[in-house]
Structure 1
Amino acid sequence: MRREDGRDGRDGGDGEVEAVLDELYALPPSDFVARREERAAAARTEGRADDARRLHAARRPTLAAWAANLLRRSRPDEARQFLELGRALREAHATLDPSALKELSAQRRRIVSELSRQTAGLAREAGHPLSDAVRRDVETTLRAVLADPEAAALWDSGRTESALTPPSGFAATAESPAREAPRAPSAPARRRDEPAERRAERQRRLDRAREAAREAEERLHDRRTEHEDAGASLERARERHREAGRRVSALEEQLREAQREFERAERERQEAGAREGAASEALARAGREAREAVREAERAAKGAR
């Protein structure tokens, strides 16, 4: 889905653009814009203006969308089974098979929970832990993939740009006959005869409203991306804070142990000092006694002569 056939007839062509788009959507969101502009500039330098426009139009994915794309690329077998489950669910819903719906719905809840857990693990290993809010967006996206064939095709392409929302009820499969849209009531004769200027003005207002809606959607996408970036930064900061707290606790324990060791050494120093002092006094006393004994011996020797 969203793979336009914008060929420009030059070497590389659409296949090269597709490869670059795959590369872009495999990058973390923080690296997306810089690499996109680099690739678009290279295409312009090579004279591939259409390719450059296609690349420049690629929208940076939100963190939840990037994580969902990461799951699709990293777990191809599980992804294929998940897409098959979605087709089975939509078929069961289209045929209103109660027993099949009950069994498949139980599988859906279990598998969505497990794939959400795997996605969070993959993102964490890639250095981008997911906040609780982003994980909820991932789960919503996975439910949309099961419920909506267009969402399934977009996720299968690996280029999801923002969190997907499931419809209120499961959409029918592509093989199911589409219901004919109700026909708009015929315009009254007055409108058919309305001046062309008024019709043109209405069309201009409609075009402006559509452009405003598109710009609002772009702003919403940008704000959602910024919000997710801030949430990811907060989660990383929290993890660094927890790790710093663990290091501080370890250092505090080392400091307490060093203080205890210092106090023990101080007591031993004082005790050794006291013993050394006593030994010095005993040595001095013994010295005095020895000298006195020598003098006494000398006096006795003189008396004997």
Structure 2
Amino acid sequence: MGVDELAEELYALSPGEFTAARDRAAAAAPRGERGAIRALRRPSLAAWAVNLLTREDRSRVTSLLRLGEELRALHRRPADAGRMRELAGRRRQLVAALSRRAGQLTADAGRPVSDAVLREVEDTLRAALADPGAARALAAGRLTKALPAPAGFGAEPVAPEVTGDGEATVHELRPPSREAAPGRAPAGRDAGRRSGGSGRKRAEGRGGGAAPGAGEARRASVTDLGEHARAQERAGRERRERARGARAAAEELARAAADSEDGASSAEQTLEEARGRLEQARAEVSGLAEELRRAKRSLSAAERAERAARAPADRARQEAGRNRRRAEEARAEAERLARERPGGRRGGRRPGTSP
């Protein structure tokens, strides 16, 4: 089984089962695939609910994605207002129906989720309606986090970052940047003109003509405005750099938090397994202790029986010894009597016979 097929099976599991199943699969996989398997991230409850919805109710999820394509197309060009209202109504109904279905599926799977989690499910569905990248991530069925809802359907979409483990991180959908209206000069230029005009009026009011040094004053004012604009630009660049740094730090912390969650889940699973082994060992020890008690009782009974049988056995041995001696004495007497002749003579040669 390849990594993709394994990921399909893992992301169908509940978050509580994910980490242990992933670690077992990584341990059993070929060496070259272990890193990719261990990189698969455990889904949050909301992400798992959406993945489950994608697998179990594919037809309605497909309807949602097609509705999102049509809505995005209408927002890109002038559209019929009546058609837009119709699609917006369908969007609300479909999101609500899919959210309820996700709640039913999680409950049927033995892990009902809270209303807060279902709100994250709805946010993810709305993100898929507004953003094609979010739609692709949802259709893959391997989300690890809920997607943020767009700030507005007409917002400018930012494609999600899809990682190797199927995770899609969608930034907040931002409205298009507001450009300067045609024919309107930038604020700095307007300020310069206003400053120059007021300077001229003041100069004319003081003597009916150009005051001495008025040109130098205007040039100094323009220079100051230019310096101010450049300072504002530098400050803007610094703010953007700080914002990028803060976003990078936040993403790094989020990855570290996800790793910590996976580590905690793995540790909890290991703890549960150790507790199970401990209970089993305790049961075995209890059984062995009972067997030992029974064996000790049997040993005590056998010792008592041995002691009780020892004296009769000794007496029987002694009696047997006495009987053996009597028997030997009786045999000896019988032999002696057999060698003697009648009249008290011993058996031997008769008188007058040769040997």
TM-score, normalised on structure 1?
A: 0.53
Q: Distance in 2 between matches of 1:132 and 1:140?
A: 12
Equivalent in 70, 87, 90 of residue 69 of structure 2: 87
1:135 aligned onto 2:118: yes
Match of 1:56 in 2: 38
**Same amino acid, percent of matched pairs:** 43
1:110 aligned onto 2:93: yes
Encode CA deviations 1:47-73: one digit per residue, 9 max, x unaligned.
32xx22221111110001100110000
Task: Report the residue type matching 2:36 in the other structure.
Answer: R
Task: Specify whether residues 52 and 134 from structure 1 end up closer, same or farther in structure 2 by C-alpha distance, changes over 3 A only.
Answer: same
* 1:111 Cα deviation from its structure 2 partner: 0.6
Contact 2:19 2:262 (C-alpha < 8 Å) held by counterparts? no
Contact 1:64 1:138 (C-alpha < 8 Å) held by counterparts? yes
SS at match of 1:122: helix
Task: Report the residue type matching 1:38 in the other structure.
Answer: R
Give the unaligned 5+ runs of structure 1: 1-11, 183-204, 227-305
Equivalent in 216, 219, 227 of residue 253 of structure 2: 216
Task: Report the residue type matching 2:4 in the other structure.
Answer: E
Q: Distance in 1 between matches of 2:24 and 2:123?
A: 33
Encode CA deviations 1:161-193: one digit per residue, 9 max, x unaligned.
11111332345799xxxx9xx9xxxxxxxxxxx
Match of 1:19 in 2: 5
SS at match of 1:26: coil
Give the unaligned 5+ runs of structure 2: 160-175, 180-241, 264-355
Q: Distance in 2 between matches of 1:207 and 1:120?
A: 37
Match of 1:41 in 2: 27
Task: Specify whether residues 216 and 73 from structure 1 end up closer, same or farther in structure 2 by C-alpha distance, changes over 3 A only.
Answer: same
1:144 aligned onto 2:127: yes
Encode CA deviations 1:199-239: one digit per residue, 9 max, x unaligned.
xxxxxx9998776433311255579999xxxxxxxxxxxxx
Match of 1:68 in 2: 50
Encode CA deviations 1:22-71: one digit per residue, 9 max, x unaligned.
1111000001111111112222xx232xx222211111100011001100
Alignment coverage as a number of residue pairs = 180
Please report the RMSD computed on the Cα atoms of aligned residues, expressed in angstroms: 3.2
Contact 1:90 1:172 (C-alpha < 8 Å) held by counterparts? no
Task: Specify whether residues 94 and 172 from structure 1 end up closer, same or farther in structure 2 by C-alpha distance, changes over 3 A only.
Answer: farther
Contact 2:106 2:113 (C-alpha < 8 Å) held by counterparts? yes
1:124 aligned onto 2:107: yes
Q: Distance in 1 between matches of 2:146 and 2:60?
A: 20
Task: Specify whether residues 36 and 145 from structure 1 end up closer, same or farther in structure 2 by C-alpha distance, changes over 3 A only.
Answer: same
Encode CA deviations 1:143-164: one digit per residue, 9 max, x unaligned.
1111111111001000011111
Equivalent in 137, 141, 144 of residue 161 of structure 1: 144
TM-score, normalised on structure 2?
A: 0.46
Contact 2:53 2:102 (C-alpha < 8 Å) held by counterparts? yes
Q: Which has the higher contact order (CA 8 A, sep 6+)?
A: 1
Contact 1:24 1:32 (C-alpha < 8 Å) held by counterparts? yes
Q: Distance in 2 between matches of 1:91 and 1:173?
A: 16
Q: Distance in 1 between matches of 2:249 and 2:157?
A: 32
Match of 1:302 in 2: none
Contact 2:126 2:150 (C-alpha < 8 Å) held by counterparts? no
Based on CA coordinates, which of the two structures has the bigger radius of gyration? Answer: 2
Q: Distance in 2 between matches of 1:224 and 1:155?
A: 22
Match of 1:298 in 2: none
Contact 2:41 2:262 (C-alpha < 8 Å) held by counterparts? no
